[in-house]
Amino acid sequence: MASITVPIPTNSNEPILDNGQGVIDPDVYFQINESPADLPEFESKLNTFVDFHKSKGSNVVFITSGGTTVPLENQTVRFIDNFSNGTRGATSAEYFLEAGYAVVFMHRQNSIQPYNRHFTHSQMGFLDYLEPMENGSVQVLSKYAAKMHELLTKYNEAKKSNRILMLDFVTLPEYLFKLQSGSKILARLERKAMYYLAAAVSDFFIPSQKMAEHKIQSRDGGLTLTLDQVPKFLKPLVSNWAAKGLIVSFKLETDSNLLVPKARQALTRYGHQVVIGNMLKTRKQTVTFITQHNQKVLSLSQQQMADGIEIESEIIPELARIHQNWIDSGKTE
Ligand code: PMT
């Protein structure tokens, strides 16, 4: 079978600066990739939200949630996706609101959203919760009404008090530009800002200059992809963009022997405050907190799982406690 190699064709002869190991510098990434068209609107909404909460003295958490896509063509028909449906981020947002935080929820478009998640991502369709009335109106079936009333009240309260800001991304470049810009805007809150990086970010991409402009044709048979490595953005985030905030990154593994060493390695390499390790298969039941001097496992029993208790109900109070120490003393414990 014939195969073609992507990137095809190269639109630029400019060399792409790298760190000598084939990975471009994060700053260079922003020079060679186009910023998203809605970045000014994103910044304007976030600036207004941050000003409001700075004047109120609120603690604000910047949650990233869902997976990034990596386009294969500039006029994109095909893309590679990253695993994550956004449950961790959306569930956490609810518990952060309960803990008194203002929440910036930067999520993959159409991924799971706080409060709505209880009805949108179940076995049932939206219309299955409703019944038509003879007078032409529609009402929620009585068995779901109490739960929907409770969640709708919380959701409306969060919106009315301006404590939740919904922002979205789809592609890797959109995510990275918005992460950079968003964390610099939140930096005005200094230690009162927490960055909760639950999104699953692609490690590989095709720079736009190397990407095919039009839909890759199948007439030549199979397709061989060559992807560049995405620079690690935790480094500039920790050392420049959000230097005073509390930064919480996640480490996802499938081999349990690697989880703690890799999580600790990330903490040492980037010098931030918390890494939360989770295993793909048990991520809803068990997480491991890694801080500079401590390691702590939070876990739910089978009975708690059966009762519908969510691990985020343990993660968020623990983080709120660590964040308060950070605000008070610049230390996590
Ligand atoms: O959404 P769900 O389905 O509920 O799943 C939740 C989750 C498993 C996706 C979530 O809990 C999780 O683990 N998220 C992080 C997954 C991930 O991208 O891990 P990583 O090992 O590739 O990256 C580690 C950290 O480095 C991340 O916090 C990421 O923000 C950061 N990173 C990653 C790549 C990159 N180029 N630059 C980065 O800074």
Which of 197, 265, 288 to mutate to test ligand 1, by most ligand atoms within 8 A of the CB atom? Answer: 197
Q: Is the pLDDT of residue 182 over 60?
A: yes
Q: Is the pLDDT of residue 14 over 50?
A: no
The pLDDT confidence band at residue 229, using thresholds 50, 70 and 90, is very high
What pLDDT is stored for residue 22 in this prediction?
Answer: 65
Q: Is the pLDDT of residue 52 over 50?
A: yes
Specify if 126 maps to a domain: no
**pLDDT tens-digit series, residues 128-152:** 999 999 999 999 999 999 999 999 9
Task: Report whether residue 259 contacts ligand 1, using a CB cutoff of 6 Å.
Answer: no
Look at the block and give the residue holding tokens 């970045």: 39
Of the candidates 109, 113, 121, the residue with the CA atom closest to the CA atom of residue 92: 113
Specify if 307 maps to a domain: no
The pLDDT confidence band at residue 208, using thresholds 50, 70 and 90, is confident
What pLDDT is stored for residue 21 in this prediction?
Answer: 59
Looking at ligand 1, which residue's alpha carbon is closest to its atom 18? 200
Looking at ligand 1, which residue's alpha carbon is closest to its atom 13? 252
Task: Report whether residue 250 contacts ligand 1, using a CB cutoff of 6 Å.
Answer: yes
Mean pLDDT to the nearest integer, 102-119:
97
Specify if 276 maps to a domain: no
Q: Is the pLDDT of residue 90 over 90?
A: yes
The pLDDT confidence band at residue 24, using thresholds 50, 70 and 90, is confident
Q: What is the domain count for the chain?
A: 1
Task: Report whether residue 251 contacts ligand 1, using a CB cutoff of 6 Å.
Answer: yes
What pLDDT is stored for residue 278 in this prediction?
Answer: 97
The Å distance, Cα 95 to ligand 1 centre, comes to 20
Q: Is the pLDDT of residue 12 over 60?
A: no
Closest ligand 1 atom to 233 CA: 39
Specify if 291 maps to a domain: no
Task: Report whether residue 92 contacts ligand 1, using a CB cutoff of 6 Å.
Answer: no
Give me the domain span that covers residue 97. 3-113+150-244
Specify if 292 maps to a domain: no
Specify if 133 maps to a domain: no
**pLDDT tens-digit series, residues 295-313:** 999 999 999 999 999 999 9
Looking at ligand 1, which residue's alpha carbon is closest to its atom 30? 197
What pLDDT is stored for residue 290 in this prediction?
Answer: 97
The pLDDT confidence band at residue 1, using thresholds 50, 70 and 90, is very low
Specify if 60 maps to a domain: yes
Mean pLDDT to the nearest integer, 100-120:
97
Looking at ligand 1, which residue's alpha carbon is closest to its atom 24? 251
Closest ligand 1 atom to 230 CA: 36
More confident residue, 279 or 34: 279
CATH code of the domain in which 206 resides: 3.40.50.10300
The Å distance, Cα 199 to ligand 1 centre, comes to 5
The pLDDT confidence band at residue 23, using thresholds 50, 70 and 90, is confident
More confident residue, 97 or 14: 97
Closest ligand 1 atom to 200 CA: 18
Mean pLDDT to the nearest integer, 242-250:
97
Specify if 128 maps to a domain: no
